Amino acid sequence: MSVPTRYGPEVIDSIAEQLAEGKSLVVICKQDGMPARGVVYEWMRSDSDLAQRLYEAREVGFHLRAEMAVAAAKSAKDPIAGRLAFDAERWYLGKLSNAFREKPLAVGVSVNVDRDDAFAAIAGALDRAAAAISSGSNSTSAVVIEGEARPADAGRQLADLGGSGGPGLGEDPDGG
């Protein structure tokens, strides 16, 4: 990792520790002796190992925040205030972490692809997701499906994907 000489490895260690404690990078970078948030993002863009370390620390912090939110909601004297605080934390975590989203896996759609290629790409994405789950990984990572787009009648190809489900739902408009 190539961190400027003004900031040593102990600064990175401190940032990672504080992220794992559930603090935000905004709060951490406002402390004396810490780099600006933009500097940390620049380091992460230029060093994938550092980026991975900080993202993993951040995920650990998100899990800690979630556990603390549940505990606070359970022990709240005022159930309405407890619910409001819990919902706010859940919303915040859902915006920042795939692990806490209601729909954590998003699939982009390319309509001009061959049907067999599309199924192979989806099967590959599912295999990668299953491998990540079985490995016990709890960090957030994107699943990217790549394929070659080709010009075609996209509506007809999409309709062909579903079998014979009626007009527009897999039925071949030519009767085949």
Is the confidence at residue 156, as pLDDT, over 50?
Answer: no
Domain that holds residue 59: 9-100
Report helix, strand or coil for 97: coil
Claim to verify: residue 86 and residue 150 sit in the same structural domain: no
For the stretch 111-151, pLDDT in tens is 555 666 666 777 777 777 777 666 665 555 555 555 555 54
76 inside domain? yes
The domain boundary residue, chosen from 79, 100, 121: 100
Is residue 2 situated within a structural domain?
Answer: no
Rounded Cα distance between 72 and 66, Å, is 10
- Choose among 97, 103, 108, 173: nearest CA to 147: 108
- Looking at residue 158, what is its pLDDT? 45
In whole numbers, what is the pLDDT of the chain averaged over residues?
75
Domain membership of residue 175 (yes or no) is yes
Residue written as token pair 């159930």:
79
Residue 36 and residue 26 in contact, taking contact as beta carbons nearer than 8 Å: no
Residue 124: the pLDDT is: 74
pLDDT confidence tier of residue 34, bands split at 50, 70 and 90 = very high
What's the average model confidence in pLDDT over 159-176?
A: 46
> Taking 50 as the threshold, does the pLDDT of residue 26 lie above it?
yes
* Full DSSP string of 1-18: ----TTS-HHHHHHHHHH
**What CA–CA distance (Å, rounded) separates 4 from 16?**
17
Whether pLDDT at 78 is above 70: yes
Q: Are residues 20 and 47 in the same domain?
A: yes
Mean pLDDT of 64-79: 91
Task: Please check whether residues 89 and 40 belong to one and the same domain.
Answer: yes
The answer as to whether 154 is a domain residue is yes
Cα distances from 47 to residues 44, 52, 78, 143, in angstroms, run: 5, 9, 46, 21
Based on the structure, what is the number of domains in the chain? 2
Same domain for 173 and 96, yes or no, is: no
- Say yes or no: 18 and 90 in one domain: yes
Report the C-alpha gap between 14 and 44 in whole angstroms.
Answer: 15
pLDDT in tens, 47-58: 889 999 999 999
Residue 67 lies in a domain: yes
